Amino acid sequence: MKLLIVEDNLKLLDTIKETLESEKFLCEAAANYETAHEKIFLYTYDALIVDINLPDGTGLDLIRKMKQQNSTTGIIVISARNSLNNKIEGLDLGADDYITKPFDMAELVARVKALLRRRNFSGNDIITHNKITVNTVNRSAAAGNQQLDLTKSEYDILLFFLSNPGRVLTRESIAEHIWGDNMDLADSFDFIYSHIKNLRKKITAAGVDNPLKAVYGVGYKLEKTTT
């Protein structure tokens, strides 16, 4: 999987690149419109992650160019401008997803993986981690041999964990993942706690060890390896 990341803030660009590389993606970075434009012409990418505001152009133009060049490339727009217009324009041009700064790396990883799953016709709809399986087509989950009866939020949380094994998911990022901007983060912690508690109960009831470990005072983590 080859990704092109376009972001003018070098520190953020580095962090995004490192994070996605740690997920075994092949990443190329461009810090301005010119470089990105060149790369789009020269190479083929599976996904483009593009900031709208660039010093020498707008990311919207890059989306247009990318669509002309290779229409199967998935596109995720990043923008700090939380303006609806940018969002609509970006999605109209053919972007697949939109994420506003400051985002969590876990969120970005989940979005990139979801995008590639959707784009990839060979289909990797089934994600397995240890004994837990999630089918993203019919939105079902199983632990061991047993189907899990999950609520919408529980399913979303589980998939979020499975997209980020080994990474600490803060309560804030989980809340934002489920509710977006709709919940004041600090107030939703007890809801997150209840959701995780129920999720754990359902997994252990299916005879599988609880894989969601609490990181005290911060959030939760899906254990990377079998314990």
Partner 1 sequence: MRLIKRTYIYTSLWMLPIILIGSIFSFLMIEYVSYEEIDEFLTYEMERLVEYHEENNDLPEFHQVARIIEDVKYEKPFFKDTLLLEPGDNEMVPYRELWFSINHNGRDFTLVIQHLMLGRDDIAQGALLIISGIVLLILLFAFLSVNRVTGKIWTPFYDTLHKITRFKISEPPPEFTNSDIDEFNALNSSLSELLKKIKKDYQHNKEFNENASHELQTHLAVIKSNAGKLLDNSGGDEKRTETASKIYSAATQLSQVQKSLLLLSKINNREFSDNIELNLEDLMKQVLELFAETITLRQIKLSANTKPSTVFMDKGLAEILINNLIKNAVKHNIENGYISINLSPQKLEIKNSGEPYAGNPEHLLQRFSKGKTGISGIGLAIVKEICDLYNFEIQYDIKNSTHKITIHFSK
Q: Of these, 184, 225, 226, 227, which contacts partner 1 (CB under 8 A)?
A: 184
Longest dimension (CA), the chain: 56
Residues of this chain, 10-69, that bind partner 1 according to CB under 8 A: 11-12, 15-16, 18-19, 53
Residue 216 is a binding residue for partner 1 (CB under 8 A): yes
User: Is 166 an interacting residue with respect to partner 1 (CB under 8 A)?
Assistant: yes
Q: Judged by CB, which is closer to partner 1: 15, or 120?
A: 15
- 26: amino acid identity, one letter: L
Single-letter residue type at 154: E
Give yes or no for residue 214 binding partner 1 (CB under 8 A): no
* Integer Cα distance of 16 and 8 in angstroms: 12
> Quick one: which of 24, 55, 68, 102 contacts partner 1 (CB under 8 A)?
102
Q: Which is nearer to partner 1, 150 or 208 (CB)?
A: 150
| Euclidean distance between CA atoms 38 and 43, whole angstroms | 9
Phi–psi pair at 14, nearest 5 degrees: -60, -45
* CB within 8 Å of 46: residues ≥ 6 apart: 1, 2, 3, 73, 74, 116, 119
Residue ranges in contact with partner 1 by CB under 8 A = 9, 11-12, 15-16, 18-19, 53, 80-82, 84, 100-106, 151-153, 166-168, 170, 172-173, 179, 181-187, 191, 194-195, 215-218
